[in-house]
Structure 1
C-alpha cells in the first residue's frame, strides 16, 4: 500500500469510484485550490483503494485543528488496515501542519468507522447532535 497526497485533478477524478457521488473536474480543481483542504489516497497495486480528506479549521481563540471530513475504503480492500493507515497519515499531516488536534463526526452505529478510528488512537468524546441546512445545488 502506498499513501499519497492528491495534488492533481486527475488523481482526484481517478479515485471517484470511492466517493458518495460523481466528482467533477471543476469541483476537484476548487478542492485543490482551497487552502487547508487535502486528500490522501491509498493505492494498492497502483489502484486507488481508499481515501481520507481533511480540512484545517482555524479559530482566533483555539488555533488550528484538523477535521477528518471523510474516510472511505473500497469494498474489496476493507479489513486490511487501510482505513487506520489513512487516518494515521492524516493525523501525521495535521501534526506536521501544527494542528493542536483532530476530530471526526461519526454515526454511533457505524462500527467499521468507529473501529478504524479507535485503532488509529481516537478517543470517544461522547454523544453529540448534528444539525444540517440543505441549500440545494443552485443555492
Structure 2
C-alpha cells in the first residue's frame, strides 16, 4: 500500500489550497472552486480557529483533506468543533486516508481540551463513514438556508 502523511496546513500553504480547488471534482465530486487569492489563503490558514489538514502522498501531492472550525458557544462548554468538510481522491478512497484525517482532528481537539464535535452528513455514504468513526446520529436538525447580498456581499 502506498503511504501517506497527514499534516495541518499553515500560513505558507496557499499553493496547496489552490491545487485542491483545481482538483475539487476528484476529492468531492463537485465542480472546481475558484481558489482564494494569496492574501485570503494566508488569512484563512493563519486563523487559529481554522483547522485544515491535508493527507499527502510521498511526493507531497494531496490525496485527502479535512476542514474544521473551532466554534464558540453561548452556553455549556465554551468551545466545540464544527467538522465542515472532508474529501479524498477517488483513487485513494477506502485506504485509510479519511480515517487518518478524522484521527488528526480528534487529536487536535484533545490537545485543545475540546470535547465535542459535530458534522452534517449529506449522504448515506457520508453518514456511514462518520458512524464508523464513532459519531452518532443526533437530534434531527432543520433545513439549512443561506443568503448572499445582491452583489455577493453585505
TM-score if structure 1 supplies the norm length? 0.86
Pairwise CA RMSD of aligned residues?
Answer: 1.9
CA contact (8 A) 1:42 1:50 kept: yes
| Deviant stretches of 4+, over 2 Å | 10-16, 136-139
- Further displaced range: 80-89 or 126-135: 126-135
Q: Larger Cα Rg: Structure 1 or Structure 2? A: 2
| C-alpha displacement of 1:53 | 0.5
**2:69 corresponds to:** 55
Alignment of 1:7-22 (within 5 A): 7=10, 8=12, 9-16=14-21, 17-18=23-24, 20=30, 21-22=33-34
5+ residue gaps, structure 1: none
5+ residue gaps, structure 2: none
Alignment of 1:1-139 (within 5 A): 1-7=4-10, 8=12, 9-16=14-21, 17-18=23-24, 20=30, 21-24=33-36, 25-45=38-58, 46-61=60-75, 62-107=77-122, 110-136=123-149, 137-139=152-154
TM-score if structure 2 supplies the norm length? 0.78
